[in-house]
A and B are shown apart, each in its own frame.
Chain A
Amino acid sequence: MNTVSGLKATGYNFAYLDEQTKRMIRRAILKAIAIPGYQVPFASREMPMPYGWGTGGVQVTASILGKADVLKVIDQGSDDTTNAVSIRKFFEKTAGVRTTTHTGEATIVQTRHRIPERPLRADQILVYQVPIPEPLRYLEPRETETRKMHGLRDYGLMHVKLYEDIARHGHIATTYAYPVEVAGRYVMDPSPIPKFDNPKMDMSPALQLFGAGREKRIYAVPPYTHVRSLDFEDHPFEVQRFSRPCALCGAEDAYLDEILLDDRGQRMFACSDTDYCEERRASGHTGLQGDAA
């Protein structure tokens, strides 16, 4: 079959998607920016990577990527996790854009499960990969119902869930994908970032775009938009605190990964944002096991 020859990477448009598809996605993005936190349905395409592995984020990135852009891709805060490597290579191959691991150098950062520690600037865009865009999904499985609830701003179910957490555990037992309210209107799923990262979304100078490929939804938080993590007056929102600094760079303000060192319970805590950690070490900061790197 001679169609097979069309499969060569060179036979594809810049950044894989055809221009019509990009236009369709850009329209969805513009609508999403116009209605902060609202989930815009879009005609998600099949991508050459599996659903659930970042197809939404990849489509958003492909649609906004220009030749002059510098792309950074992270997964769990790291540039070197397998899926981040795979997505970065995909854009190197199909778009030929410059890539970087430095948050400060990137114009577009595609992420899974983290927001970089270094504050983002107004000339940067953060693209989130989203598995389940609907914050109410685990409370109400039906799309027809949840869309109605958003339309009526009927978020009682969510507040009841958070209240029940407090009644049962004494605190809200949601540690990641912690729901937020955007611009005082829509309740939004921030994607499964740890709630540690939630405050970074609030009034961020950078545009934040969210792509859910399998669920066919795009939503956005425009720059300088209020993003409030849901809470109660007597149970204000709190982020996790780590009892020790990063073992490599000594950072006390960063989200840490726990790394098992041996089978006798030895463990180490180190920055999940590898670029942040490396930059700190390069500028002379060190932790207790800093030389182990």
Chain B
Amino acid sequence: MYVAVKGGERAIANAHELLAHQRRGDASVPEIAPEQIEGQLQRSVDRVMTEGSLYDPALAALAIKQAQGDLIEAIFLIRAFRTTVERFGYAVPTETVAMTIVRRVSATFKDLPGGQILGPTFDYTHRLIDFMLAAGVEPAPPAEGQPVADERVVPLTELLDQDGLIEAVPSADTDDEVGDLTRDPLDFPAARDLRLQALARGDEGFLLGLAYSTQRGYGRTHPFVGEIRIGEIDVAFEAEEVGFAVPLGRVMLTECQMINQFAGSATQPPQFTRGYGLVFGQSERKAMSMALIDRALRADELGEERQAPAQDEEFVLAHCDNVQATGFVEHLKLPHYVDFQAELDLVRRMRQEHTVGSSEEAAE
């Protein structure tokens, strides 16, 4: 009888075997290769790399396969791997100005230096299921234009800056050490570097919902998309032994510069302010959400009244990490016999007191 409450090592091993079996699916269908995931489910790979905080498309693809396409589970796998990887230094800060652009749009000016480049986008597609895709029809080759590479495309915000219409890029003290969320516990209030780190690895869905709430009046920021740019950029590492920056490789990034209205304060004239988003791979949704929330979280700094959840740093940063969130929500599956027993006892006692109380009342 008592055996019934025991979990048992055998049961756990069996459960994991069954999971592996289920992952494989129908054996008559060819097994999916990580290379296929990497090459054909790029947006999933991008999300796993961004929220897993590790740029490694092959590993992300494998994690997605292992997680049966459950992206939060895949992000978790990547994080648990990343934390064991040795850290030997920081890359040279990347300048997104030097990006080899595949897409670049601005919603604030019809045309601007460097031009609007649509690039690959779901925008303006009709969301009709393409049944031809099931048949595996090869797509037509894409049109080719002049490469934009190696041409410094000046960010729109820099153009506005010339007139003082927008706040200057907050200048970072280069001697200041950049905070590291994964190596030091987050302390509130957090500096903007840590805030941006937390948002960059924060859950896309959570940030999207919060960003949306700012548009619906819960901490309005009057935003405009100054610029979204997607492209590849070199990452280099200053190796002390050789005395110069060694290129490590190229990463794909999506950057969003949000421009927001600002009424001005006693010390500052009215001008536009910034919200910033940056993610691995191609995810405008995430970069835009991040930029909206970054700006909303600057309420204190800009002397705005904090009223909405998206302006509340502790609320946002403490709850945006999906690996933490999913762990704690799902831990409710773990046994709670002991605490439940204590509550059971209490409720029984209170019910008893309630019954005695009401019968006494009836007697009166």
Q: Contact at A51–B323, with CB atoms within 8 Å?
A: yes
Q: Which chain A residues lie closer than 8 Å to B184 at the CB level?
A: 43
Q: Contact at A41–B8, with CB atoms within 8 Å?
A: no
Q: Contact at B342–A240, with CB atoms within 8 Å?
A: yes
| A10 proximal to B (CB < 8 A) | no
Q: Contact at A144–B188, with CB atoms within 8 Å?
A: yes
A7-B81, A248-B2, A259-B2 known; A43+B183 contact, CB < 8 A? yes
Q: Which chain B residues lie closer than 8 Å to A41 at the CB level?
A: 185, 187
User: How far is B194's CA from A43's CA once the two chains are assembled, in angstroms?
Assistant: 14
Q: Known A-B contacts: A50-B331, A114-B338, A170-B353. Give 4 more (CB < 8 A).
A: A52-B330, A53-B327, A77-B338, A257-B341
Closest B residue by C-beta to A144: B188
Interface string of B314-353 (1 = CB under 8 A from A): 1000100001101111110011111101111110001001
Q: Contact at B1–A176, with CB atoms within 8 Å?
A: no
| B58 proximal to A (CB < 8 A) | yes
Give A74-96 interface residues, CB cut-off 8 Å to B.
Answer: 75-78, 80-86, 89
User: How far is B188's CA from A143's CA once the two chains are assembled, in angstroms?
Assistant: 7
User: How far is B1's CA from A261's CA once the two chains are assembled, in angstroms?
Assistant: 8
Give A156-203 interface residues, CB cut-off 8 Å to B.
Answer: 169-170, 173, 175-177, 192-196
| A4 proximal to B (CB < 8 A) | yes
Q: Which chain A residues lie closer than 8 Å to B185 at the CB level?
A: 41-44, 216-217
Q: Contact at B59–A175, with CB atoms within 8 Å?
A: no
Q: Which chain B residues lie closer than 8 Å to A50 at the CB level?
A: 76, 323, 326-327, 330-331
Q: Contact at B328–A113, with CB atoms within 8 Å?
A: no
Distance of B268 from chain A, by nearest CB (Å): 26
15 contacts across the A-B interface (CB closer than 8 A) = A47-B80, A47-B83, A51-B328, A52-B328, A76-B337, A81-B335, A82-B11, A82-B335, A85-B12, A89-B9, A173-B346, A175-B342, A175-B343, A177-B339, A272-B338
Q: Give which listed residue, A3, A48, A194, contacts B339 with CB less than 8 A.
A: A194
Q: B interface, how many residues as a size bin? A: 35 or more
Closest B residue by C-beta to A28: B185
| A256 proximal to B (CB < 8 A) | yes
A176-B338, A292-B1 known; A1+B7 contact, CB < 8 A? no
User: How far is B86's CA from A119's CA once the two chains are assembled, in angstroms?
Assistant: 42
Q: Which chain A residues lie closer than 8 Å to B343 at the CB level?
A: 175-176
A18-B84, A216-B186 known; A195+B12 contact, CB < 8 A? no
Give B50-66 interface residues, CB cut-off 8 Å to A.
Answer: 56, 58-59, 62
| B189 proximal to A (CB < 8 A) | yes
Q: Which chain B residues lie closer than 8 Å to A214 at the CB level?
A: 324, 327-328
Q: Contact at A1–B83, with CB atoms within 8 Å?
A: no
| A270 proximal to B (CB < 8 A) | yes
Q: Contact at B1–A259, with CB atoms within 8 Å?
A: yes
Q: Which 5 A-B pairs have the closest CB atoms?
A: A51-B327, A52-B331, A50-B327, A175-B342, A82-B7
Closest B residue by C-beta to A17: B84
| A contacts, CB < 8 Å to B | 1, 3-4, 6-7, 12, 16, 18, 41-48, 50-53, 55, 75-78, 80-86, 89, 112-114, 131, 141-144, 169-170, 173, 175-177, 192-196, 214, 216-217, 240, 248, 255-259, 261, 268, 270, 272, 289, 292-293
User: How far is B85's CA from A173's CA once the two chains are assembled, in angstroms?
Assistant: 47
Q: Which chain A residues lie closer than 8 Å to B7 at the CB level?
A: 80-85
Distance of B346 from chain A, by nearest CB (Å): 5
User: How far is B188's CA from A84's CA once the two chains are assembled, in angstroms?
Assistant: 34
User: How far is B85's CA from A256's CA once the two chains are assembled, in angstroms?
Assistant: 44
Distance of A180 from chain B, by nearest CB (Å): 16
Q: Contact at B330–A192, with CB atoms within 8 Å?
A: no
Q: Give which listed residue, B318, B327, B329, B338, contacts A194 with CB less than 8 A.
A: B338
Distance of A239 from chain B, by nearest CB (Å): 10
User: How far is B4's CA from A81's CA once the two chains are assembled, in angstroms?
Assistant: 11
Q: Contact at A3–B330, with CB atoms within 8 Å?
A: no
Q: Contact at B331–A80, with CB atoms within 8 Å?
A: no
Q: Which chain A residues lie closer than 8 Å to B62 at the CB level?
A: 1, 4
Distance of B214 from chain A, by nearest CB (Å): 21
User: How far is B115's CA from A106's CA once the two chains are assembled, in angstroms?
Assistant: 69
Q: Contact at A270–B2, with CB atoms within 8 Å?
A: yes
User: How far is B10's CA from A82's CA once the two chains are assembled, in angstroms?
Assistant: 10
Q: Which chain B residues lie closer than 8 Å to A77 at the CB level?
A: 338
User: How far is B340's CA from A255's CA once the two chains are assembled, in angstroms?
Assistant: 12
User: How far is B353's CA from A83's CA once the two chains are assembled, in angstroms?
Assistant: 37
| B6 proximal to A (CB < 8 A) | yes
Closest B residue by C-beta to A216: B185
Distance of B192 from chain A, by nearest CB (Å): 17
Distance of B202 from chain A, by nearest CB (Å): 15
Distance of A20 from chain B, by nearest CB (Å): 10
User: How far is B79's CA from A16's CA once the two chains are assembled, in angstroms?
Assistant: 15
| B43 proximal to A (CB < 8 A) | no
Q: Which chain B residues lie closer than 8 Å to A114 at the CB level?
A: 338
Q: Which chain A residues lie closer than 8 Å to B58 at the CB level?
A: 1
User: How far is B330's CA from A81's CA once the two chains are assembled, in angstroms?
Assistant: 16
User: How far is B339's CA from A258's CA once the two chains are assembled, in angstroms?
Assistant: 11
Q: Which chain B residues lie closer than 8 Å to A258 at the CB level?
A: 341, 344
User: How far is B321's CA from A216's CA once the two chains are assembled, in angstroms?
Assistant: 14
Q: Which chain B residues lie closer than 8 Å to A1 at the CB level?
A: 56, 58-59, 62
| B250 proximal to A (CB < 8 A) | no
Q: Give which listed residue, A86, A248, A255, contacts B12 with CB less than 8 A.
A: A86
